[in-house]
Each structure stands twice: as C-alpha cells, then as structure tokens.
Chain A
Amino acid sequence: RKEVEQDPGPFNVPEGATVAFNCTYSNSASQSFFWYRQDCRKEPKLLMSVYSSGNEDGRFTAQLNRASQYISLLIRDSKLSDSATYLCVVKERTGGFKTIFGAGTRLFVKA
C-alpha cells in the first residue's frame, strides 16, 4: 500500500462545478497535512494546510479525518484557472519530519 494515495483522475468538470478530491494515508502517526497545487511543467506551490478542525479559504475547503486517515479538498464554483494537479502531502515525525507527496489528482475545468 502506498503511504499517500490519491485518485489520479483526471477530473473533467465545467466552470462553476463543485469538485472534491480525496486522499488517504497509511501512517496513523502522521502529524501534519497539506494540499499543494502544481501547474503543468511548474513547481508545486502550497494551496492550503489541513487542520484537524477543517479550514476554508475562499472557494477551497480542506478537511481531515484522523480516525479514517483521510483528507479531502473541496473546490466550489470552479474556475478555468483551477485546472492543475492537486498534490496531497503528509508529514510524519521520524527524527525530523519526513514529507510524503501523493502522486496527484489532475483537474481540468472547461468553459
């Protein structure tokens, strides 16, 4: 089993749609969680951190379920500019912090 698993997609949605991505992680001792965004042929950039209480940033909502070892990202009112690959990231405490990236979920938003 992979340490961090994501549905690779692609997800093809029309503008204005709501889309949800899921991610599962294998290490129950994982400490912190993130969603990064990666545009085609570009470097990843932090989209948002994911806290136990859940958090929202504009059209984006992230949730964490520690019991099920599951993280989600919800995008409301999708824009063309949301088209990208969304990477689920987990940090585990192993001496320092080991960072594990999921393979990513590709999103295409179409007019």
Chain B
Amino acid sequence: GAGVSQSPSNKVTEKGKDVELRCDPISGHTALYWYRQSLGQGLEFLIYFQGNSAPDKSGLPSDRFSAERTGGSVSTLTIQRTQQEDSAVYLCASSLSGTGSYNEQFFGPGTRLTVL
C-alpha cells in the first residue's frame, strides 16, 4: 500500500511569508508526528497527534508554528512569518498508534524548506 506522502517536496519562500506543508499518513494510522531536521543535525520533535486526543505541541519552537489534523487523517503544518532559521527538512511520520510501545514510525520523504 501507499506510504506516507508529503507535499510539496521542495519549497522556497521569502522571509516573512507564510507556508503550509502537507502530510498524508498511511491509511488507518492513528498517530501522526511532525519533525524538523536541519542540515547535518538530528530530528527535532515538533508536534504529535493521537486519534481525537489533544495534540502534544510541546516541541513547537514558537507561536509562528501551528498544525492541524483534519478528520484524523491529513495534517497541515503552518509556519507564519517565516525566518531564515526555519530552513530545514520537515518530516512527517505515522504509526498504527502512538500509545503502543513498539509501534514503528513510518516517515514520508520530507519537505525541504528554504527561506531566503
């Protein structure tokens, strides 16, 4: 079946503009995660959705970042008033459930964001 998909694959924007990044998780997966990976760095947790529960937003770096997950499926990560330090690869992952100890996270190919 289809894996996790993300769009766009690349996004170049000007400082101060808003951007929206989209993630389509694997069908039936109730948990969805957003991460950020800067060049040569590890993954930084941003936000986690589990079913209909309130999302864990503890990783969002500022109030310019927000995310929604509609109908328990597709998710959109929005960055308002982008800054150059927002440039990174934004990775989305999904898993069967976030509450299972050993549920594998399946990653999408990422969106490479460049803020000029």
Contact = CB atoms under 8 A, between A and B. Distances in A.
B31 to A, nearest CB: 8
Contacts, number: 52
Contacts of A103: 41-42
Contacts of B50: 96
Interface string A70-107: 00000000000000000100010011111111111000
B72 interface: no
B45 A97 contact: no
Contact of A101 (B35, B58, B104): B35
B48 A96 contact: yes
Interface magnitude class on chain B: 20 to 34
Given A43-B91, A96-B53, A101 B43 contact: yes
Contact of A32 (B41, B48, B102, B109): B102
Contact of A43 (B45, B58, B108): B108
Contacts of A31: 101
A92 to B, nearest CB: 11
Given A32-B101, A43-B91, A49-B102, A99 B107 contact: no
Interface of B: 31, 33, 35, 41-43, 45, 48, 50, 53, 56, 58, 91, 98-102, 104-105, 107-110
Interface of A: 31-32, 34, 42-46, 49, 87, 91, 94-104
